Copies of this chain bind each other. A is one copy, B any other.
Amino acid sequence: MHNQEITFFADVSAMNATSTPPIVNIDHLKQACGNCSLGALCLPMGLDDKDVDELGRIVKRNRPLHRGDHLFRMGDPFHSIFVVKSGSVKSYSSAQDGDEQVVGFHLPGEMLGLDAIDRGIHTCAAIAMETTAVCELPFDRLEDLASRLPSLQHQLFRLLSKEINREEEMLLVLGKKSAEERLAAFLFSLSARYKRRGYSDREFNLSMSRQEIGNYLGLAVETVSRLFTRFHEDGLLEAQRKHVHILDMERLESMVSACTGAMHQHARMG
């Protein structure tokens, strides 16, 4: 818990290095947002207490999801965007011929649902990969608030733009990188995201299967499995199923050099 609150600050200051310093203090934030990661929306824009309260009030807290529960499905009407509080969520889209593409994995603090704004329906499905808590931000209320708070509006534009960036980097990975580079980039990304959350960047548990990793990276399961084996043999990491221990972070990073920040993070609210 505490860890999380601290992370808000870290995220926000990183995100906001060049803008105005936060005015709202951490107590207001906790009060307004609860455990939900709204740091990036609240802090960097000099909202007064009333505004923070208002933002806090529109947040819905939902009952936790279990593994396999859908947060939404393709074609569902769009009402809200979501922020992962704990656990993890996979979003995926499917084509007419049945092909499915994992579009992203969402760790705590990361946001999803932005792609549904355009058509007012969800174009991806989102499913909990483990027991997961999310908070829900009704988008119409967020828009109302944003039109009264220019800096909130700006933050929302930035979030959407950040998501575009993330996907452009992913296009580079899928379009130009070898299987080895893809998996390295993926692991490096996860590592960075866990670190940012205050967890170890060298040792963590994957919440997704080899199958899902392969799907995300445009590779066959077997290829992913072989790569884990090879990385292990090369002393890059130890991997026992879901558990990953990165042994040589520098070499991992050097394998990724190409993919600057690819996959490093989703649109985040904190």
Q: Chain A interface (Cβ within 8 Å of chain B)?
A: 18, 93, 95-97, 99, 101, 103, 114-120, 123-124, 143-144, 146-148, 150, 153-154, 156-165, 167-172, 174-177, 215-218, 257-260
Contacts and interface: CB of A to CB of B under 8 A. Distances in A.
23 contacts: A95-B258, A95-B259, A95-B260, A96-B258, A97-B258, A101-B168, A101-B171, A115-B164, A117-B158, A117-B160, A118-B162, A118-B165, A123-B168, A143-B153, A143-B157, A147-B148, A156-B157, A167-B171, A171-B171, A174-B175, A174-B218, A175-B218, A176-B218
B158 A96 contact: no
A145 to B, nearest CB: 11
A61 B96 CA distance: 41
Given A147-B147, A153-B146, A118 B175 contact: no
Tell me the number of copies of this protein. Answer: 2
A177 B215 CA distance: 12
Q: Is the interface of A mostly helix, strand, loop or mixed?
A: helix
A153 B165 CA distance: 21
Contacts of A148: 147
B103 A176 contact: no
A120 B162 contact: no
A157 to B, nearest CB: 5
A168 B258 contact: no
Nearest to A98: B258
B115 A165 contact: yes
Given A18-B120, A154-B143, A260-B95, A101 B175 contact: yes
A146 B143 CA distance: 11
Nearest to A169: B93
B218 A161 contact: no
Contacts of A215: 175
A118 B161 contact: yes
Given A143-B150, A157-B160, A171-B174, 17 more contacts: A18-B120, A93-B169, A96-B260, A97-B257, A99-B176, A99-B258, A114-B160, A115-B164, A118-B162, A119-B165, A123-B165, A123-B168, A153-B153, A160-B161, A167-B167, A171-B171, A175-B218
Contacts of A93: 168-169, 172
A218 B178 CA distance: 11
Contacts of A158: 117-118
A124 B167 CA distance: 12
A44 B217 CA distance: 39
Contacts of A168: 93, 101, 103, 115, 123-124, 167
